[in-house]
Amino acid sequence: MKTKRLPTNIQSLRGTIAVPGDKSISHRSIMFGALAEGVTEVTNFLPGADCLSTISCFKQLGVSIEQEGQLVRIEGKGFNGLTEPREVLDVGNSGTTIRLMLGILAGQVFSAVLAGDSSIAKRPMTRVVNPLREMGALIDGRKDGEYTPLSIRGGQLQGVRYQLPVASAQVKSAIILAGLQAEGETIIVEPEATRDHTERMIQQFGGKIEKDGQTIKVSGNQLFKGTTIHVPGDISSAAFFMVAAAITKNSEVVLKNVGLNPTRTGIIEVMKAMGADITVDLHSGEGEPAGDVTVRSSQLKGTTISGDLIPRLIDEIPVIALLATQAEGITTIKDASELKVKETNRIDTVANELKILGADITPTADGLIISGRKSLQGGTVTSHGDHRIGMMLAIAALITNGDVQLEDPGAIDVSYPEFFDHLTYLIK
């Protein structure tokens, strides 16, 4: 396995960077572009491995897509123009790809097989499969459709009323995508608000979707028109440098054009509650709000993170746990059992890897308890093939006293291929 020696014990982090495009929005721009009539152009697309998996799946469904770096041009086929794939659709490491694709394929009158890597093979799918079956799709797979490979034969769907058992934007989006192809109305009730990029993008493509509190309504038989999508920077990628600037000495990092959709900005609220020196300059955004975020070295204190804040920072919890190791007092993270079914069990991987570096961190059934402030030491750590764990550990290494070796750093390419270039640029 490849191992990378990480920069440690640095003097300061200073400079301005633009993090790559948002992963969730990049996936959705390809999907809606394919389902629209006419051409869609996407700028600041994230050319990370996950979003490239989405592109290759749509090419297999007969959609013509040209991608060069951050620019993508999609020749939309409309809801009725996709064609049966000849080979297995390979979603790679991407949960978003497989779950949203299932929603799209549920309304298509052909069959397809979906599979991904060894991490995808462990992630639960009945959360999406059950409502899609209820709507009329035929889906099978390992353990009655809980695990990949999954086969799906879509067809005429009926709208449903579905109360989501877990707060999940992927499940919500899959049902919305099926609802757009169903007869009648589909009503979805969320236990807590989750990222609403799908809902916003439907409107950008000229479609209709209603929202009333936690209830979402969508109807079938809509026509989407190709458009231009500008993807803002990914706050989940920016989070690593936000935390890095806060925990290192003499630091000031400016992150330009970061997506500031309120369903994603939980980390900013938590950093403020912990006493971080953070300022936000919000620009107006078309479809999605965005702005610049500046973070400086900070004196931090512990906090409690729970309840409806969790879905608004779910992917940032690994790096928030690192932040908490440098905060005075106890930080408690609860109501976050969804972390167990991400690319890895992120409760266990975060606790185990940070312990190797000397953190005082205890995993619980639904979160983590971290006691700060602890100085971190060197060691050999691993990403476990999880991009967010790999990046969190690279940020932790910045404040360790000994050498840190990171096993499987390549996992980071899933969402942030230029991560190490940006890190090297900021180290002064």
Question: Do the beta carbons of residue 413 and residue 20 sit within 8 Å?
Answer: no
Nearest approach, Cβ of 335 to ligand SPQ (angstroms)? 13
User: How many CA atoms, within 13 angstroms, populate the side-chain half-sphere of residue 284?
Assistant: 1
Contact region for ligand SPQ (CB under 6 A) — 12-20, 104-112, 169-177, 329-337? 169-177
Closest CA to 33 of 82, 83, 92, 94: 82
- Using CB under 6 A as the binding rule, whether residue 168 contacts ligand SPQ is answered as yes
233 SS3 class? strand
3-state secondary structure 256-319: EEEECCCCCCHHHHHHHHCCCEEEEEEECCCCCCEEEEEEECCCEECCEECHHHHHHCHHHHHH
- Using CB under 6 A as the binding rule, whether residue 350 contacts ligand SPQ is answered as no
Nearest approach, Cβ of 189 to ligand SPQ (angstroms)? 15
- Using CB under 6 A as the binding rule, whether residue 235 contacts ligand SPQ is answered as no
Nearest residue (CB) to ligand SPQ, 357 versus 414: 414
The length of the chain, given as a count of residues: 428
Nearest residue (CB) to ligand SPQ, 296 versus 388: 388
DSSP 9-38: S-S-BEEEE-PPBPHHHHHHHHHHHHHSEE
| Type of residue at 356 | I
Q: Which one of the listed residues 292, 315, 386, 408 is annotated catalytic?
A: 315
Contacts with ligand SPQ by CB under 6 A: the residue count is: 18
Contact region for ligand SPQ (CB under 6 A) — 4-12, 101-109, 167-175, 357-365? 167-175
Residue 85: both structure tokens together: 């794939």
Nearest residue (CB) to ligand SPQ, 10 versus 392: 392
- Using CB under 6 A as the binding rule, whether residue 349 contacts ligand SPQ is answered as no
- Using CB under 6 A as the binding rule, whether residue 314 contacts ligand SPQ is answered as yes
315 noted as active-site residue: yes
- Using CB under 6 A as the binding rule, whether residue 29 contacts ligand SPQ is answered as no
Q: Determine phi and psi for 406, rounding to 5 degrees.
A: -110, 120
Instruction: Give me the residues that bind ligand SPQ (CB under 6 A), please.
Output: 23-24, 50, 94-96, 168-170, 173, 195, 314-315, 338, 342-343, 388, 415
Catalytic (active-site) positions:
315
